[in-house]
Structure 1
Amino acid sequence: MKAIYLEAINKPFTLIEKEKPSAGPGEAVVQVKAAALNHRDVWIQYGRYFTKDYPAILGSDCAGIVTEVGEGVDKMWLGKEVIVDPSSDWGDNLRAQGKEFKVLGMPEDGAFAEYVKVQAANLHEKPEHLTFEEAAALPLGGVTAYRAMFTKCGLQAGDKVLVTGAGGGVALFAIQFAAAVGAEVWVTSGSDEKIGLALDLGATDGINYKSEGWGKALKEKAGGFDVIIDGAAGEGFVQLVKLAKPGGRIGMYGGTTGMIGQLNPAEIFWKQLAIHGSTMGTAQDFAEMVRLVDEKGIKPVVDIVFPLEKTEEAMRYMEAGKQFGKIVVRID
């Protein structure tokens, strides 16, 4: 089979021929129709991820067709169009992942290949309204947004929610999920164009965080937020604390702009804010996320689709940060 190979740190992704995997007990083999990129893949390429097990076939997010099942797996899965939950071994503590937690694509061979072997327990039927490309865009970004917003922050219909960094995969899922359940959604972005596109997904309004005094201006327009979903941290996080209503919840799933600036503790304890760290999700989070997408007819935003052999080019496109939505590779 064809697969995308990462030989070592700082090496380019290359196309190779590799033996097709076989399903063992409790496992299934999926013919990958589409796989989506995550920033995790670039971090691994540069040696910035906590797992370092090279060489590797990366790729966490995928959708395809089950072609083989191992001993103990219901044969009803054969021929099914599926989405794969890329996470496994979360552990017994539902509040946080354990030491054995891992994600498809390192150390185990991932989805940037014509076939991938996974635990059958990680298979979910693909919602019929999704193409393979749209379904492949869903797993890590979707479950990260779902857990931060619902499991951790307890978002409900009627809440006013702020999603920062509209344009990234997780942020777009957060916008779509919140709008789908009847929340009032506002966004921030460094691009007025991306704010406009977020309005098409159900956002009420937004503000450019590059504008002077953006936090104060947003407070005047929106009046504060019940839930804030953030993947940036950095100096802007100080403004998020100010924007949170009393009793507000802030869900953090990343820190792309670095260390948080100086916070006034009184703004946290006097307003009785809850700040939740969150990353990826449990098997239950994933199942509930897929159910929400299916029931509400949510369609993930796909920015661009590359052929498998151009995965290296796709990584550089993602690194440039110009996308609105997910970047997908298609396996023909």
Structure 2
Amino acid sequence: MKAVVLKETGGPDKLTYEEVPVPEPGQGEVVIRLKNAALNRRDVFITYGLYPGMNLPSVLGADGAGVVSAIGEGVTDWHKDDEVVINPGLSWGDNPAHNGPDFHILGMPTDGTYAEYVKVPAEQVYRKPEYLSWEEAAALPLAALTAYRAVVTRGQVKEGETVFIPGIGSGVAMFALQIAKAHGAEVYVSSGSYEKLAQARELGAAGGVNYKTEGYVKQLKKEMAGADLCIDGVGGESFNDLISLAKPAGRIVNFGATTGPVPELMLPKLFFKHLDFRGTTMGSPEDFSSMLAFFTENDIRPVVDRVFGLEEAVEAQKHMEEGRQFGKIVLDIPGD
């Protein structure tokens, strides 16, 4: 089968498109013939070695959807040609409140979805929502799960609340906007692109500001009058802006730090405003199941920015690095 393999670090150019053996299912496993895969920022970080637990060579890719092609011993819930989507969060553990020590994500160190076939434990497979295309289904898993847990499980969003999401355009931020809107919240966003702000409004954002403009925090606070809930994957220097933007007794949920660590946390504002700061990573199997049900019930469709061929994985990752995408970047897997 064809697959995209990372054998050494140094950026997306180190990815190779090559022939590798088709995986065989073991006890309790299934092999999926993938129709589409999707990119996450994590994939790019891995190519630079900026990810814990590096173990190469590895086939990258956490997100994917396809059909069951082979079934291992002991698997009774799935049949050949069943249409499925994969939960990439492996070995979450028994506690839904947090992952256990063996938790890891598909696509390094475990071979992932930048391939024609992928082998996964049968419990990681869920029925593909019928209303979604293959491209849309592949775009869901990691980002939609992360957003759902951040907004719903950890963020406890409520109807009528004001939600602020910085860095709109990324997969998780886009899903967070859609999930919060479906819960009846009023959502505001920020971006360094006026085009992305306009696109976010088309998706239902109540407003937004360009964070590159002087005094954007004051402008945003005037526009939305403070946030009950902030969903952050940016981190860095702008994290303190969230503390300023949050209403008293508001919640800040962080799932990432694409701009690095927070250099100087404003603790007095944090405790004087009685703020809750909550961390979150990916989501439990229960979160994944609830996310699929919620998306289906509310007819939420992923925003797909652009589709590349599997052999164009290097170009796809570079497109993600440029940061101009609005929504998910998808890979089209070659057919039989």
Aligned pairs, how many? 332
1:95 positional shift: 2.9
Q: Which AA in structure 1 matches 2:322? A: A
Q: For each residue in 1:231-270, what CA deviation from the matched residue of structure 2 results, as whole angstroms up to 9, or x when unmatched?
A: 1112221121111111110011111222325444332222
Which residue is 2:274 aligned to? 272
Aligned residue among 98, 101, 108 for 1:99: 101
Conserved? CA contact 1:237–1:261, under 8 Å = no
With over 3 angstroms needed to count, the CA separation of the structure-2 counterparts of 1:240 and 1:2, relative to structure 1, is same
Aligned residue for 2:112, secondary structure, equals coil
Query: 1:264 and 1:19 mapped to 2: Cα distance?
Result: 52
Question: Counterpart amino acid of 1:26?
Answer: G
Q: What percent of counterpart residues are identical?
A: 49
Map of 1:291 onto structure 2: 293
- Once the 2 structures are TM-superposed, how far is the Cα of residue 198 of structure 1 from its aligned partner? 0.5
Distance of aligned partners of 1:270 and 1:4 in 2 relative to their CA distance in 1, 3 Å threshold: same
Whether the 8 Å contact between 1:234 and 1:255 is mirrored in structure 2 is yes
Post-superposition CA distance 1:70-117 (Å, at most 9, x none)? 112125432111110001111234333222111111111111111111
**What are the residue-to-residue correspondences of 1:120-269 with 2, within 5 Å?**
120-269=122-271
Q: For residues 6 and 50 of structure 1, what CA distance do their matches in structure 2 show?
A: 15
In structure 1, C-alpha distance between the alignment counterparts of 2:239 and 2:123, rounded to whole Å: 38
Q: List runs of 5+ in structure 2 lacking aligned partners.
A: none
- Structure 1: segments with no counterpart, 5+ residues: none
Partner of 2:305: 303
Q: Which amino acid aligns with 1:309?
A: E
**Residue type matched to 1:57 in 2?**
V
Whole-angstrom CA distance in 2 between matches of 1:67 and 1:92: 29
Following the alignment from structure 2 to structure 1, what is the Cα–Cα distance between the partners of residues 65 and 52? 26
Measured at CA, do residues 151 and 309 of structure 1 come closer, stay the same or move farther in structure 2, by a change above 3 Å? same
**Structure 1 residues 57-66 or 227-236, which shifts more?**
227-236
Verify the 8 A CA contact 2:33 2:66 in the aligned structure 1: yes
Counterpart of 1:117 in 2: which secondary structure?
A: strand
| Correspondence for 1:329 | 331
1:43-122 paired onto structure 2 within 5 Å: 43-74=45-76, 76-122=78-124
Give 2:2's aligned residue.
2
The alpha-carbon distance between structure 1 residues 263 and 108, as it changes in their structure 2 partners (threshold 3 A), is closer
AA partner of residue 223 (structure 2): K
SS in 2 for 1:235: helix
Letter in 1 for 2:76: D
Alignment RMSD = 1.3
Q: Distance in 2 between matches of 1:137 and 1:29?
A: 19
Distance of aligned partners of 1:53 and 1:262 in 2 relative to their CA distance in 1, 3 Å threshold: closer
User: Is contact 1:230-1:253 (8 Å) kept?
Assistant: yes
Provide TM-score, normalisation by structure 1.
0.97
- State the distance in 1 between where 2:77 and 2:85 align: 17
Q: Name the CA distance, whole Å, in 1 between partners of 2:79 and 2:165.
A: 37
> Where has structure 1 moved over 4 Å in runs of 4 or more?
none
One-letter amino acid of the counterpart of residue 102, structure 1: H
